[in-house]
Amino acid sequence: SNLSRACQSPPLPGPGAWPRRLPGDRRADSGADRRTGAGERAMAASAEPCVGQDVWNGTEPEPTALHLLNVCFLKTAGVWVPPMYLWVLGPIYLLYLHRHGQGYLRMSLLFKAKLVLGLALIILCTSSVSVALWRIQWGTPQAPEFLIHPTVWLTTMSFAMFLIHTERKKGVRASGVLFGYWLLCFLLPATTAAQLTLRGGFRSDPFYHLSTYLCLSLVAAQFVLSCLVDHPPFFPEDPQQPNPCPEAEASFPSRVTFWWVSGLVWRGYRRTLGPEDLWSLSRENSSEELVSQLEREWTRNRSAAQRRTKVRAARKKGNGGVETPETEPLLEQEGDRRGPLLRAIWQMSRSTFLLATFAIVISDVFRFAVPKLLSLFLEFMGNPTTPAWKGYLLAVLMFLSASLQSLLEQHFMYRVKVLQMRIRTAITGLVYRKVLVLSSASRKASAVGDVVNLVSVDVQRLIDCFIYLNGLWMTIIWMAICFVYLWQLLGLSALTAIAVFMSLLPLNFFITRKRKQHQQEHMRQKDSRARLTSSIMGNMKIVKSHGWEGAFLERILRIRSQELGALRTSNLLFSVSLVSFQVSTFLAALVLFAVHTLVAEENAMDAEKAFVTLTVLTILNKAQAFLPFSINSVIQARVSLDRLAAFLCLEEVDPGAVDSSPSRCTVGETCVSVHDGTFAWSRESTPCLRRINLTVPQGRLLAVVGAVGAGKSSLLSALLGELSKVEGSVSIKGSVAYVPQEAWVQHTSVVENVCFRQKLDPLWLERVLEACALWPDVSSFPAGVHTKIGEQGMSLSGGQKQRLSLARAVYRKAAVYLLDDPLAALDAHVSQHVFNQVIGPNGLLHGTTRILVTHVLHVLPQADWIVVLEDGAIAEMGPYQELLHRKGALVRLLDAARHPGDGGVGETELTTEAKDPRGSAGCERPTGGPGSGRSMKLVPGKDGATSEAQTGAALDEPKWAGQPTAEDGVRNGRVKATLYLTYLRAVGAPLCLYVLFLFLCQQVASFCSSYWLSLWADDPTVDGRQTQAALRGSIFGLLGCLQGTPRWPSSPSILPAPSEVLRDPWSACPWLIIFLNIRANTLVSRADLHPSTKAWAWGRRHFPPLLEPPEPVPDSSTNKCRILAPSC
């Protein structure tokens, strides 16, 4: 038969196959064998059966170490498993290498050693095939496997060498596929070779044995070389990083065991880690690469979906594909919007996710191997005549199975966490890029809070789905395998366990749905309380002056009570779910054992049935508890995916609304032109600009004036392409710089705000700061241009922010400048200086095209051209003197500015002089002429002159770069005991002792139930029956009830939700978990601020938060602050 022929196949791969007759076998045909020739010996050897077949069933005497494993299995596996492994994974690996090249490796010594060893292996395999063919040619009978097996190994070795060469071309420094291949090639044949060597294998066929041992030596050398790492590749895709992640340079064993992290762990043990210890991000994990990749896939899939929608609509209308307004390819349905985004995410993450899935599947194989090994081990313990080596072997296999299961689970979590980081970065960047190109109508439809929820809540729910996604199908397989195990152990009684778990599934689904509703209510109340508290703190003067402290405090406490009610109900439901999870294993075991022992009296309980059943039930319990989480996570991810896709499908600004050209205009050439332009903020709204015809030559200063709401800012938005173009055309030549009416600055240094990712030119920066009247302010800053502004830095006035925004635009050296009233927030003298030095005919921008929207009328005489807007249309335009002679719209505006009280025209806000806002009066200073700025220094010092070398040094070597204040300093060391005592006092000593007592009771009851179950299993049987089965079962049930009862009151106090454990690892520590209870959330402190609050704040800054910080609410009676209950 085929099975017998498989067992008779050569035991080892490579150059040859060993004869089947092993020296030392007790055979009676020695005389006949001496009388036969070489061919007859070979045929007899091929027909010899395997040895060691009855080792496990006990029919043979106790074997020695030579028969530790079944020789028949080792012969077959050693020949066929390594080639099958490489031919299955090799093509997939080649496809991966084709798509993920990392550079080109040089001909290193490691590669040359691999090449020499590989060629030697190929020569040995070829010699084995040649010897077999030579013997056949000379008439020596040979079994087919003597030729087939070396041929298979010859082709496999050649394929392995091809993979080594391909890895060098693709820049792979350490190969996991070839590591596994060489390990299998050495491990399986080496076991059989060791057995045969100890039995004198060289005496039967020295050539085959010598070549086989030589092959094993070469394979072992290849395996050792596969554990090493090659040199970095030439022309890598990732640029050289200052502190690269060691994972890229780690060998495959180091990656498998996470040994590459040990350097950071050891460094953290020896000293405190800082930001400089963090590894640099690789290119594949950078936001630039991830966002670009997802955007590319999203655009391609969305375009394909739009085409399919258009085709379906055309077929439905039956118009032969003619495009009509009814068949516009808009993605109206949720599925049409969701599909492209889902496919884009899948195409971006499929390789990593499939690899993680493969790891968790193999981990589950080892998970279910543990109960089977436990069953064999208990069987070994129950049979005193069983050889001792079986127990050692089973113990080692159980340890290896548990270790490999844990290791593969960690690899799954590691890869999923990396994938979550990538997806979060990519989707967040895609949302932010979408925000930048949203049309005006889309901006009105989506508020800032919606965008924040998208990138915080929806993205988090979407990436959480990657952990639970495999649970949809893996839990079903878990349940099926567990049922098979239970059926083999207990027969029909296994149906009762399935019934118990199936009855608990609806409860888990109900609790999950209700808890979700209460969590949403809790978040709504929390947001409402946070908004109200923020509003009160921001308007404290008004609250104090009207005496509204009590009313607002009552309103906050009412919202807080509703929040605590939702939180209390959610924790109560979680307690029910947790108790059901902990008790379900015991309940199923109790029902199962009771039915099994009471249905038939001959069903006696033994150790194998008891403890293996408990192990299987634990796995089954995890499956039935994990399934609701998986379904709920997938449903939430689908809703979040719909919300994200709907946002990404919002209308964008038309990229073709403005015909832009990067080339600069020559003098006198038209730089900006608008012909018959009609624009609206959205397609459905009324046009805000009508019949605009405008031509601006190169180098001219165009001033745009008009009343409030006339359309001045809308005109600039139309030139930028942010308005929906109804008709007409817009053309701009050259780069464009825009200064908004509301200044925007970054929370970084002054020089970084001005340069804005442009190359630093110290001389040009000096001129720009001088022209924008920023020198006096910069000279007063502690670190000059390197002073940080915004958070953790200097606070700027409105005028300073506006001049900084203007300086950023001027520094870019653009061809066209769109200036939306940059002089409105400046003092009169500063406004005049900025106009003369920057915008005016003699300013830095005198050779560029400038379109200035302004309310300051005293600058109009210096403009080359003036445009007056009224009700979204051009009332008149021309030079200043010509418009004065016409006595038209401009004259009316000037009269309204001089007499603001006449009629309703006074609301134009036009002034003949620049306003002097008090908000910037304290910071604005008059500046001298162009030469006076030379006395200012980028970093203040004693010397008034600054050379170019000093300027560059000042820019590169700041004395102070806006370090955080002393309160934000980081402290090192351990947490003081007083901090823990503060939490203990807030919770209360009686509650802590109560929870600890219940926890100890639960542990004692758990130990007693396990011990009682072992006594039940050891009960003797009388006529195949256990006489005390009913008593044992009753006491086992009582102990189980005692085990589950303490969990009910203690679970909401001790155990946090799984999501809280993931967010806050400290919550997994029992001594800190007890602080997370409902009692702490219901406390409202009426005491004033005292030193314990400082300890709380200090611990909050330096350790993961256990609770949110207390929120102060003003108390008018004491003129101090009361502390509200901390929020969860």
Domain coordinates in residue numbering, the chain: 2-226, 246-285, 659-745+796-925, 977-1123
Q: Which residues contact 1019 (CB under 8 A, 6 or more apart)?
A: 604, 605, 1026, 1027, 1028, 1029, 1032
Give the angle subtended at the CA of 624 by the CAs of 621 and 625, to the nearest 5°: 85
488's tokens: 């083999």
CA distance 547 to 556: 16
Asked if the model's pLDDT at residue 425 lies above 90, the reply is yes
- Between 597 and 336, the more confident residue is 597
Enter the pTM of the model: 0.72
Q: Quick one: pLDDT band at residue 777, thresholds 50, 70, 90? A: confident
Q: What is the CA radius of gyration of the chain?
A: 40
- CB burial class (10 A; 0-12, 13-18, 19+) of residue 540? exposed
Q: Which residues contact 969 (CB under 8 A, 6 or more apart)?
A: none
What's residue 337's pLDDT?
A: 76
Architecture of domain 659-745+796-925: 3-Layer(aba) Sandwich (3.40)
Mean pLDDT computed over 18-26: 37
- Range list of H helices, 945-1075: 948-956, 977-987, 989-1017, 1029-1044, 1047-1054, 1058-1063, 1070-1073
What's residue 1124's pLDDT?
A: 36
Residues 1018/1023/1026/1030 CA torsion (nearest 10 deg): 180
Q: Over pLDDT 70: what percentage of the chain?
A: 73
Mean pLDDT computed over 299-305: 87
CA distance 773 to 753: 16
562's tokens: 């509703």
CA distance 172 to 174: 6
Query: Coil, strand or helix: which one is 915?
Result: coil
- Between 674 and 531, the more confident residue is 674
Asked if the model's pLDDT at residue 420 lies above 90, the reply is yes
Highest mean pLDDT among 866-875, 952-961, 1018-1027: 866-875
What's residue 23's pLDDT?
A: 36
What DSSP line would sit under 191-252, residue for residue? HHHHHHHHTTGGGT-HHHHHHHHHHHHHHHHHHHHHTS--PPPBS-SSPPPSSB-GGGG--H
What's residue 899's pLDDT?
A: 67
What's residue 361's pLDDT?
A: 93
What DSSP line would sit under 336-399, residue for residue? HHHHHHHHHHHHHHHHHHHHHHHHHHHHHHHHHHHHHHHHHHHHHHH-TTS-HHHHHHHHHHHH
CA distance 868 to 882: 13
User: What would the pLDDT profile of 845-857 be if each residue is shown by its tens digit?
Assistant: 888 999 999 888 8
DSSP 8-state code for residue 669: S
Q: Element (H or E) spanning 678, and its range?
A: strand 670-680
218's tokens: 């070469």
**Lowest-pLDDT range, 266-275, 608-617, 1011-1020?**
1011-1020
DSSP 8-state code for residue 24: T
- Averaged pLDDT of the chain: 74
User: What would the pLDDT profile of 1036-1094 be if each residue is shown by its tens digit?
Assistant: 777 777 766 665 554 444 333 333 333 333 333 333 333 333 333 433 333 333 333 33
Q: Over pLDDT 90: what percentage of the chain?
A: 11
For the beta carbon of residue 452, count every other beta carbon within 10 angstroms: 10
- CB burial class (10 A; 0-12, 13-18, 19+) of residue 366? buried
Query: Coil, strand or helix: which one is 790?
Result: coil
User: What would the pLDDT profile of 600-635 be if each residue is shown by its tens digit?
Assistant: 666 667 777 878 888 888 888 788 778 877 887 888
Mean pLDDT computed over 743-762: 87
Residue with the two structure tokens 């001594």: 1071
What's residue 541's pLDDT?
A: 82
What's residue 200's pLDDT?
A: 57
CA distance 187 to 197: 15
Mean pLDDT computed over 900-920: 41
Residue with the two structure tokens 């306003």: 915
For the beta carbon of residue 126, count every other beta carbon within 10 angstroms: 16
User: What would the pLDDT profile of 676-735 be if each residue is shown by its tens digit?
Assistant: 888 888 777 888 888 889 888 888 899 999 888 888 888 998 898 888 888 888 999 888
